[in-house]
Amino acid sequence: MNINVNVDRSDVQQLNSAINRLKTYSAIKFYQEIQKTGLNAAYKVKKDAPFDTGNLRLNVKWDGKAVRSDAPYSGFLEFGTENQKKQEYFFKNILAELKRTIRTIETKIQRTLRRWKK
């Protein structure tokens, strides 16, 4: 059984162009998007952190790789204790920013692929 497939040269060029745009996006924009996500997440965590002396907010940091709280009691506030009700401020903001980032990246990839189809 023989199958013949004719491929138009312009279609191949469009495909290569789309692949190159995706490579460029993944190399540069992806890193920038992750950095933006970390900064936004740290900002939102600080904004929602329980405030007494301000120490907790001062100890929330984005170091380019992770958002963290260096306050030794931050986990007790987030998860609560036997005698203290939890005051969620950290993980809900991290998860919300991750979901936003995933949607943003998926949208940009879909746009790139749609441009290729045209």
The string of pLDDT tens digits covering residues 9-49 is 877 787 787 777 777 666 677 888 889 999 999 999 999 99
d(CA 84, CA 86): 6
Greater confidence (2 vs 92) lies with 92
| Model confidence pTM above 0.85 | no
Give CA–CA dist 15/21, Å, rounded.
Answer: 10
- What integer best gives the mean pLDDT of the chain? 86
Measured from the Cβ of residue 117, the count of other Cβ atoms closer than 10 Å reads 7
Q: Quick one: what percent of the chain has pLDDT higher than 90?
A: 56
Question: Residue 16: what pLDDT?
Answer: 80
Provide the CB-side half-sphere exposure for 47 (13 A, CA).
9
Cα–Cα distances (Å) from 70 to 5, 22, 56, 75, 102, in that order, read 61, 37, 8, 10, 27
pLDDT at res. 5: 64
